[in-house]
Amino acid sequence: MGRLYGVILSRLSSASNSPAASHTAQSERSAHRNAPKLVHSPSNWAFRVKPCGRRRARLCIKGYEQVPGVDYSDTYSPVVNIASLRALIAVAAAEDFECATFDVNTAFLNSDIDTDIYMYVPDGFKETKGDIICKLIKSLYGLKQSSNLWYNKLKKVLGELGLKPLKKEPCIFKNSDNTLFIGLHIDDGFVVGKIDKIDSFFKNLKGHFDVKIDMQENMTFLGMQTS
């Protein structure tokens, strides 16, 4: 039996009443439609204004209440080394490859949960009437194992698309003929390869996740600018 967790009550009251906040909350609710399986008590939203001015609504569970060995086991999730990214850029320059980046929207919600965990239903869902509690069927932001579950999910999908991680760098993936390379940093990806391979990759990736793609000549990835 999973433990019962509440949702972080860290919202900005002034922001939560604005039309922009309502829109971002609605977007987050839509992403959660496949995450909670209703079993039975209402909760709250966390709102944030990013440095770029973009408003974000995020549902975060109290993962700090989880018990090791009971609610989770593995938590480690690798991220790409900055030196490996520089190597990818060098490969792109040497082979005259194209570069692109992608960002997976609400990435953690795509991962299957690995244990029984329950949480309060946040405000805004129709199912909040009465005493309702959610049993998670997908991972959620705030869980100790969320990053680990997401990496394993993405690794599985990339494997299905013909990409395998390097032995010495688990966050660099490549295809069999070395014409496509992917560098991963959680839900962000840096892509290097032939243009037809990149186009095919993004087309297939969109069949699994909701992604934002940047194929401009000047782009930024983890603070590094390429042109």
For the chain, the maximum distance between any two Cα atoms, rounded to a whole number of angstroms, is 62
* Cα-based distances in Å from 83 to 102, 146, 178, 186: 19, 26, 19, 17
- CATH number 3.20.20.140 is the correct assignment for the domain at 82-108+146-226: no
Q: Is the pLDDT of residue 137 over 80?
A: yes
Neighbours of 185 (CB within 10 A): 16
**Closest C-alpha to 63, from 143, 128, 125, 177:** 143
DSSP string, 37-66: EE---EE--EEEE-TTS-EEEE--B-GGG-
Nearest-Å Rg of the Cα atoms of the chain is 19
Confidence at 138, pLDDT banded by 50, 70, 90? confident
Residue type, 185: H
Please write the tens of the pLDDT for every residue from 144-191: 999 999 999 999 999 999 999 999 999 999 999 999 999 999 999 999
Domain boundaries, the chain: 4-72+113-136, 82-108+146-226
Place of tokens 């080394």: 81
More confident residue, 43 or 149: 149
| Tens-place pLDDT, residues 48-59 | 776 667 777 777
Q: What is the pLDDT of residues 54-82, one digit of tens each?
A: 777 777 787 888 888 888 889 999 999 99
Mean pLDDT of the chain: 79
Instruction: Please measure the distance between the N-terminal and C-terminal CA atoms of the chain and give it in whole angstroms.
Output: 52
Q: Among 154, 174, 159, which residue's Cα sits nearest to residue 95?
A: 174
